[in-house]
Chains A and B, each alone.
Chain A
Amino acid sequence: MSLRRPASAQTILSSARKPGGRSSRRALWLGLAFASPFIIGFLFLFAYPIAASAFYSFTDFNLFQTPRWVGLDNYSQMFGNPTFWQSLGNTLYLTVIGVPLAIIISLAGAHLLNFPVKGQPLYRALVYLPSIVPIVVGGYLWRWLLNTQYGFLNYFLGLFGIDGPAWLQEPDWTKPAILLMTFWTVGGTTIIYLAALKDVPQELYEAAEIDGAGAWRRFLNVTWPMISPVTLFQVIVTLIAFLQIFTQPFILAQERLNTPSAGPGGSMLTFAMSLYQNAFAFLKMGYASGMAWVLFVLTLVITLIVLATSKKWVHSANN
């Protein structure tokens, strides 16, 4: 797909279109008409719900009776609730460890996939394959792999003389288990990095070599800056994904009879899971709405921080 061609130059006719007058009004109607599906969707699925959820967060609402205004009660309850802090802590743990490792693994994988070896497309496909496996399938598959008696992970660890833990039963090891599962699906990021690596101009590497730089220096001085915009994008995307992580821990923590569970000692309770439980298991819709806003603000703040610091380490196109 030739999506990387820059937008072609404006035609003379279109650039000669005057800003005001009939044609621009017509253009307005046209624009609105074509964009109407999204505009309708935006009103019903974004604008109204955002406002509504802000409202609900100040109410006590159990779904069956009319919401009752309680002011800041939900929020003060939240900040005094150890479960809230635990879910926040769990989520931040996964994020702070998961994001850098995911980036590192993807980047390393991309380098490997970039080797001049036969069968590149096959290896690339295999690395990406786990990403298209349904998450629920991946969850149960990993439960099986993590099984202490019959699973392969502890078997392989045993080959190296390591006594593997009871991954899903010991509170200290459940989050690493979740991380392992997420690392298995970094194929998408890897492919993106692979494309970015191929985009780095060869001349830069040659120039660096002439200057006597070894492989690691070449990575640090050429590769890393050149792909830093991609890294920024991936960091933000991965960050957002980890902050909202739900299905993986939900499936890994599932117990018999579908009772709401969160792993031993609540160690797998992520923020999104706690939100879901409060909303649909305890029917505390107001409280859950408040949690959603906390998540939103947290995501926004972290993203802005990343963007703000990005100027220091992201290499812009102007060298």
Chain B
Amino acid sequence: MPTISAPVPTVLHADVQTPRRRTPSRHRLRQVRRYILVILLALIFLFPLLTMVSTAFKLPSDVFHAPPSLWPKEWTLANFAEAFDQIPVWQYLANTLFISGMSVLGTVLACPLVAYALAKVRWRGAKPLLIVVLATMMLPPQVTMIPIFLIWNGLGAVGTYLPLIIPAFLGTPFFIFLIRQFLLGVPDELIEAARIDGASEFRTYATIVLPIARPAIITAAIFQFMWAWTDFLNPLIYLNDASTYTLSIGLYSFFGQNTVAWGPLMAACVLFTLPALLLFLLGQRFFIGGISTGALK
């Protein structure tokens, strides 16, 4: 059972009954009903993934069998072998890893800088900049998609990884905002103390603020990795050479030629999902904490 170490307040729920109206058996009945409902909910969400995994291990005769069954009649690795045969999995994996890694690097370098400007530097532009950052989150990407493509095209960068990586080094509004909110909670005294000691603003930033902001930065890094890992539209537009494809485009291309190769397709899907799953299991509290805070503020 995965553990989540985020502080979870003791459960306070809305239907506490006062003792004199409750009998032990009715309470037990209600508890049973609750367990059933929650477990059902979790199973509904989990079920499609189970299907994916089970199909990946089934023989073709089992895959193309109606009615479908969850448990493979016979487990086989043939689909994975076929997937590796038809799709250059390792290459795409490496490509996707590279792009995601570089995006994370860019985010981790740029977003805290801007967040610091918004949270801790007292300057006239802080408020207007905040409004601009928030406003850019509302813009549909389709509006800027074509001119940005043309810019990259003019620079000769279409077909390279540059359009997919460089934007991360320029900051992402959502992460900037997330880190900014976190920094607001950092006591000013720490920063003031460093300033008084004569440290330059940048040294203060690097040695005092960054370490404190680590949880927020890690959250941003994890989310950025996931976004880059699963991105579809940008690789679709910018990557032309099959050897540069990411996993999402690799899957898309594979399906375009083999619309009914469900076994290998599901196997490839499993391979594509595993790293994301791993990251999720390792960093659950950052996920859950990050989105809760991002939304509640």
Contacts and interface: CB of A to CB of B under 8 A. Distances in A.
Interface of A: 1-8, 10-11, 13-14, 17, 24, 27-28, 30-38, 40-42, 44-46, 48-50, 52-53, 56, 63, 109, 112-117, 119-130, 132-137, 140-142, 144-145, 147, 149-152, 155, 158, 184, 187-188, 191-192, 194-196, 198-199, 202, 205-206, 209, 215, 218-219, 222-223, 230, 233-234, 237, 240, 243-244, 246-247, 250-251, 254-258, 272, 275-276, 279-280, 285, 288-289, 291-293, 295-296, 299-300, 303
A49 B144 contact: yes
Contacts of B232: 134-136, 247, 250
11 contacts: A4-B185, A11-B189, A34-B113, A38-B129, A45-B144, A49-B146, A49-B148, A137-B52, A137-B273, A144-B51, A198-B11
B252 interface: yes
B122 A14 contact: yes
A17 B122 contact: yes
A52 B185 CA distance: 39
A1 B170 contact: no
Given A1-B215, A123-B39, A155-B67, A24 B142 contact: no
B187 interface: yes
Contact of B68 (A17, A48, A155, A292): A155
A296 B232 CA distance: 21
Chain B binding site: helix, strand, loop or mixed by DSSP? helix
Nearest to B70: A152
A117 B38 contact: yes
B251 interface: yes
A279 B171 CA distance: 27
Given A52-B147, A137-B251, A218-B14, 15 more contacts: A8-B189, A10-B188, A14-B122, A14-B192, A24-B124, A125-B2, A129-B280, A137-B52, A155-B66, A155-B67, A155-B68, A191-B288, A255-B259, A256-B256, A293-B143
Contacts of B162: none
A38 B176 contact: yes
Contacts of A196: 296
Contact of A124 (B67, B184, B288): B288
B114 A35 contact: yes
Contacts of B145: 279, 292
A134 to B, nearest CB: 4
Given A40-B170, A196-B296, A295-B142, A7 B185 contact: yes
A142 to B, nearest CB: 7
A121 B45 contact: no
Contact of B14 (A35, A132, A144, A223): A223
A133 B34 contact: no
A144 B192 contact: no
Contacts of A199: 296
A150 B64 contact: yes
B77 to A, nearest CB: 19
Nearest to A244: B140
Nearest to B67: A155
A50 B143 contact: yes
A10 B231 CA distance: 41
A126 B45 contact: yes
A195 B292 contact: yes
B31 A117 contact: yes
B237 A280 contact: yes
A37 B148 contact: no
Contact of B121 (A30, A191, A255, A275): A30
Nearest to B116: A34
A256 B188 contact: no
B276 interface: yes
Given A129-B46, A150-B65, A109 B170 contact: no
B113 A3 contact: no
A274 to B, nearest CB: 10
Contacts of A272: 142
A11 B192 contact: yes
10 smallest A-B Cβ distances: which pairs? Answer: A41-B170, A31-B123, A34-B117, A49-B147, A49-B144, A134-B230, A52-B147, A195-B292, A35-B117, A38-B171
Contacts of B142: 244, 272, 275, 291-292, 295-296
Given A1-B293, A38-B110, A49-B147, A134 B181 contact: no
A125 B284 contact: yes
Contacts of A50: 139, 143-144, 147
